[in-house]
Homo-oligomer: A and B are copies of this chain.
Amino acid sequence: VLRSIGDDAAVVEARAVAVSSIDAVAEGVHFESSTHEPPDVGHKALATALSDLAAMGAEPGEALLALALPEGYGDDSALQLVEGARALARRTGTALVGGDVIAARALVVTVAVTGWADAPEELCGRDGARPGDLVGVTGELGAAGAGLLVLRGTRPDAPPAKLEALTARHLRPEPRLAAGRALALAGASAMIDLSDGLATDARHVAEASGVRLKVQLELLPLAPGVAPVASAAGRDPVQLAATAGDDYELLVCASPERRAALEDAAGAAGTRISWLGEVGSGSGLALVGRGGQLVEELRGYEHA
């Protein structure tokens, strides 16, 4: 970083390939002030943007943060919000190099991130899935969705520490940067981050790749605590895990001969891959239930 906050623009030494993304979150839509403290909001805004870099296999570089603050949003809250982003930036090796603060009629936080790679081939898009590929997912699903239910008042019969782990997954989503980088380098054919839920995001891969993804719902790796929360809320835990957004795990496709390499890469990055199904010709997403029947009309959260 050659120039940073305090000039008209930030200046950094570049690597060969720049990867960039922008994400905005708004009060009342992506978070509520009743459940999200200012540092949570800053964390979430940066995490969602970094997650896009993870899904490409890029290494995080710089971030720019724009705060649109409503009247009455105090300086202390704004500083805490920035500190929430800054803490995640530090931990992920991201430099917070600039920003903008404006007055507005609502709280909107926008983050633009730049990541880097040394060659385009190191990166992985949404469009490379091919018939015959396996479909997998990192980590465990449903925790953020269950956490949101808990934040909204669902009270299952479970120890407080377990519930807190779930709400933390919603309040402080973790971009899977190391996993994304490792999986892209290990030969993933397509990748996407699960921001809107598998039922929606897997469709994006199918569309971009011109293929059909088939996912066995019973193979979804449920996070601990999802089942009791879903039950207490009268929801099917597997459907919750397939449709709730904000898990920010990575959906990955790869040819079967890459299977071991991807599993090793995930393990080295501190996570694991669960294989959920396969890629076929055709279009769209087939979600297959326990008895082999197609589960129709299951959609994740669609951002407006």
Given the interface pairs A8-B193, A26-B104, the reply to whether A68 lies near B68 with Cβ below 8 Å is yes
Query: In the bound complex, how far is the Cα of B100 from the Cα of A20, in angstroms?
Result: 12
Q: CB distance B13 to A66 under 8 Å? A: no
Interface residues of A in 44-92 (CB under 8 A from B): 52-53, 55-56, 58, 62, 64-70
Q: Indicate the member of A16, A55, A65, A304 with the most B CB atoms within 10 Å.
A: A304
Q: How far is the CB of A10 from chain B (nearest CB, A)?
A: 5
Residues in B with CB closer than 8 Å to A162 are none
Interface residues of A in 125-139 (CB under 8 A from B): 125-127
Q: CB distance A102 to B304 under 8 Å? A: yes
Query: Does A165 have its Cβ within 8 Å of any Cβ on chain B?
Result: no
Query: Does A232 have its Cβ within 8 Å of any Cβ on chain B?
Result: no
Residue of B nearest to A104 (CB): B26
Query: Does A298 have its Cβ within 8 Å of any Cβ on chain B?
Result: no
Q: CB distance A22 to B102 under 8 Å? A: no
Residues in B with CB closer than 8 Å to A69 are 304
Q: CB distance B26 to A9 under 8 Å? A: no
Stretch at the interface among A27-35, A144-152, A235-243, A284-292: A27-35
Say which residue of B13, B56, B112 sits within 8 Å of A17 (CB atoms): B13
Query: Does A300 have its Cβ within 8 Å of any Cβ on chain B?
Result: no
Interface residues of A in 1-25 (CB under 8 A from B): 2-3, 6-25
Q: CB distance A12 to B17 under 8 Å? A: yes
In the assembly, how many copies of this chain are there?
Answer: 2
Prevailing SS type, chain A contact patch? strand
Query: In the bound complex, how far is the Cα of B99 from the Cα of A62, in angstroms?
Result: 17
Q: CB distance A21 to B98 under 8 Å? A: yes
Q: CB distance B53 to A125 under 8 Å? A: no
Q: CB distance B8 to A56 under 8 Å? A: yes
Residues in B with CB closer than 8 Å to A273 are none
Query: Does A97 have its Cβ within 8 Å of any Cβ on chain B?
Result: yes
Q: How far is the CB of A24 from chain B (nearest CB, A)?
A: 4
The 0/1 profile, CB within 8 Å of B marked 1, for residues 210-250 of chain A is: 00000000000000000000000000000000000000000
- Which residues of A are at the interface with B, using a C-beta cutoff of 8 A? 2-3, 6-30, 52-53, 55-56, 58, 62, 64-70, 97-106, 108, 110, 112, 114-116, 120, 123, 125-127, 191-193, 208, 303-304
15 contacts between A and B (CB under 8 A): A7-B127, A8-B56, A9-B58, A11-B125, A13-B16, A14-B14, A14-B116, A20-B98, A20-B112, A26-B103, A26-B105, A27-B104, A28-B104, A101-B304, A106-B108
